[in-house]
Structure 1
C-alpha cells in the first residue's frame, strides 16, 4: 500500500484525484492522507487539491455504488463477518442518510458507504447528495486550513480535525433529523381528521 501511495503522490494533484476516485470504489486507504501530505508540501495549492479530491470522490461514488449493486453481497461477505454485515445492514436500513452523512466526514474509507448503498439499493441520487455535502466539507475544511495557515495546519489537522469533522457531521445530521421531524409533523397535522362532538 505504501508503494501505491508513493506512486500516487508522485503524480501530485492528479494522483490525489485518482486516489479520491478509487477511495470511493475499492482502495483501503482514505484520500485524506494524500491530501494532507500534498497540501503540506504546497499550501498555496491546497484549495485546488481539495477541489480535485472532491471531484474524484464524486466521480467514484456512482462506480462504487454500481459495484455494490452488482457484487455487493460477494464483496461484503468476503470482508465482513456475517453478524457484522447483518447488524450494519439493519442499521443502514433504519438510518441510511445519517450513516452516509457521518461516514462522509470520518476517516472510514468511503467505499464502505458507496458499496453498502448499492447493495441495499439505496437511491443513488441521495447517496450523491449526501456525499456532495459530507465529502465537500471534509476536503475543503482541510484545504482551507492549509491555505490559511500553511504548513502549521498539519498540526491542527492531526490534533483537531477529527473532532471538527465529527462536530460538523453531527450538526448536519441534527439539522437533517429536525427537517424530517418537522415534515412528518406537518404531514400528520394535514392528515388529522377533526373529531365530531
Structure 2
C-alpha cells in the first residue's frame, strides 16, 4: 500500500494550486496564535520545491503572516489569558513553564520559540500575558521567523530536487517505520 506516496504527491500537487499562497498565509498566521498544527514549513517546503524561483517570496509571505499571527497571540495573551486557561484552550503547565523562562531569559524566549520547533504560539501568548515590550517582541519575531523560513526556502531550493527523488522512493517505508516507532513508544511508555 502506498498511502504515504499518495499523500506526498497530493501535497506537491496542492502546492501548485492558485490558492496555495493564501492557505500558506492563513496557516502561518493561525499557527502563530491558535492553531496547534501543522507548522507552515510543511506547506512552505513543497511550494518551494514546485516553484523554486519564488522560494524567497514564499518565505517572505510566511514570515509576515506568522509575525502578524504572533501579534494576535500577544493580544490574546494580554487580554484573554484567563479565558483561554479557564476553557482549557491552553495548557496551564505550558504557560507556566514559558513564564519561568521569560523571567530568566526575557526576549530570547521569543527568539528561540520563533526559530525552533517549540510552539511559537506559547511564546506569543506568554509575552502578551506578561506585557512584554511590544517593539522588541516584533523585532525579535521578525528576525527569528525570517531566519527559519528563509533557511527552509534556501535548503529546499538548493537540495529539494534530490530530496524529492529520495522521498518518492522511500516515503512509504519512512511513514510505516514512523508508525511502528510511535506504536512501540506508546507501548513502552504505557
TM-score, normalised with respect to structure 1: 0.66
Structure 1 pair 84–24 and aligned structure 2 pair: CA distance change class (3 A): closer
CA distance in structure 2 between the aligned counterparts of 1:85 and 1:58, rounded to whole angstroms? 20
Q: In the alignment, is the contact (CA less than 8 A) between 2:98 and 2:126 conserved in 1?
A: no
CA distance in structure 2 between the aligned counterparts of 1:39 and 1:73, rounded to whole angstroms? 40
The equivalent position to 1:127 in structure 2, one of 134, 137, 152, is 137
Paired residue secondary structure (2:58): helix
Q: 5+ unaligned residues in a row in structure 1: which ranges?
A: 156-197
The equivalent position to 1:15 in structure 2, one of 4, 13, 23, is 23
Displacement of 1:43: 2.4
RMSD: 2.5
CA distance in structure 1 between the aligned counterparts of 2:147 and 2:66, rounded to whole angstroms? 12
Task: Answer yes or no: is 1:60 the counterpart of 2:96.
Answer: no
The equivalent position to 1:98 in structure 2, one of 100, 108, 125, is 108
Structure 1 pair 39–123 and aligned structure 2 pair: CA distance change class (3 A): same
Q: In the alignment, is the contact (CA less than 8 A) between 2:59 and 2:153 conserved in 1?
A: yes
TM-score, normalised with respect to structure 2: 0.68
Q: 5+ unaligned residues in a row in structure 2: which ranges?
A: 1-6, 167-190
Give the number of aligned pairs.
150
